[in-house]
Amino acid sequence: MKIDLIIQSEDVIYYPIVEDGVSLEWDRKGSPGKLKFSVIKDDVLSFQEGDAVKLSVDGTDIFYGFVFTKSRSGRSPYLIEVTAYDQLRYFKNKDTYVYSNKKANDVVKMIAEDFHLNVGVLEDTGYVIPSRSEDNATLFDIVQNALDETLRARTRLYVLYDKVGKLTLQNIESMKLDLLIDADTIGNYTYSSTIDSQTYNQIKITFENKDSGSREIFIAKDGSNINKWGLLQYTDTVELSTSGAAKADALLKLYNSKTRTLSVSDAFGDVRVRAGSSVIVRLNLGDMSVQSYLLVEKVTHKFKQNQHLMDLKLRGGTFVT
């Protein structure tokens, strides 16, 4: 395995000596890609916050971002610890938007143009959001709200990520990998199940008719699970009366199950795995066995001494992170 890390400061390119490996972390939503590494300071190396960083593994570029933090300690003054983020770091910026008749991919494109960010392939999310107002919200939240609206309306899940310097929006169905996670390919796992979080067996949707002053209520419920768990209700609203029943049914389908969490540590590394990928999981967890595709909610790639391992947080079916 050959790892190349490059830092570009203005028109000078450096190939620094990396100490103690490299860590690359991706989350499915709400966080930028984060690269952490330590380099040895010599008489030649000179770089600053804002300089570009690229990571390649076996000739394949997997990360492009910018230095945000440098730190040293008195014990190792010649060792610089660096944290770099990809373009999504700028989605922590806040702004106010009012828009109508836009799809989630249109929202991403609009933000990218306003903030001068590089765009790659943005899949057509299909669902047109009638109108939405976002006041002093992070760009992450603005996009996620649009994606959540799409999920509720079409039960389609999309992932926004930075693909080596290009904003990319992709349906998770097209991100499945032929990669097996089982007892022979991991170091350890942790598993839990609960109905105390993100589990609802009754959905109540309301529509406020501003013209008539009346209110319509749409309810979808699972009587069997109400008898087993008690009534666990989720409430929401719609802007169009015609979408109320469909939204209630979609949310019940999404939330009417136990919330199970599964994390895997020290799995054999694969650079194709990013947050939003799906991998084949085959594990006996005690009260249940898993033999299906699960979605990678978060992945941390760990490159050290010619070894590549990764930690995964997984969801799918009844698994939620």
Among candidates 157, 206, 153, which has minimal Cα distance to 28? Answer: 157
pTM of the model: 0.83
Instruction: Report DSSP letters for 80-108, one per residue.
Output: EEEEEE-GGGGGG-EEEEEEEEE-HHHHH
Per-residue pLDDT 10s for the chain (321 aa) are: 889 999 999 999 999 999 989 999 999 999 999 999 999 999 999 999 999 999 999 999 999 999 999 999 888 889 999 999 999 999 999 999 999 999 999 999 999 999 999 999 999 999 999 999 999 999 999 999 999 999 888 888 999 999 999 999 999 999 999 999 999 999 999 988 889 988 999 999 999 888 888 899 999 999 999 999 999 999 999 888 888 999 899 899 888 988 778 999 999 999 999 999 999 999 988 877 888 888 999 999 999 988 999 999 998 654 544
Please, which residues have CB within 8 angstroms of residue 161's CB and are 6 or more apart in sequence?
26, 33, 88, 167, 168, 170, 274, 275, 276
Cβ 297 vs Cβ 28: under 8 Å: yes
Amino acid at 292: S
3-86 under CATH 3.40.50.150, yes or no: no
Per DSSP bridges, beta strands 119-122 and 167-171 are: parallel
Please, which residues have CB within 8 angstroms of residue 142's CB and are 6 or more apart in sequence?
95, 97, 107, 111, 134
Domain 175-194+258-315 is of which CATH architecture? Beta Barrel (2.40)
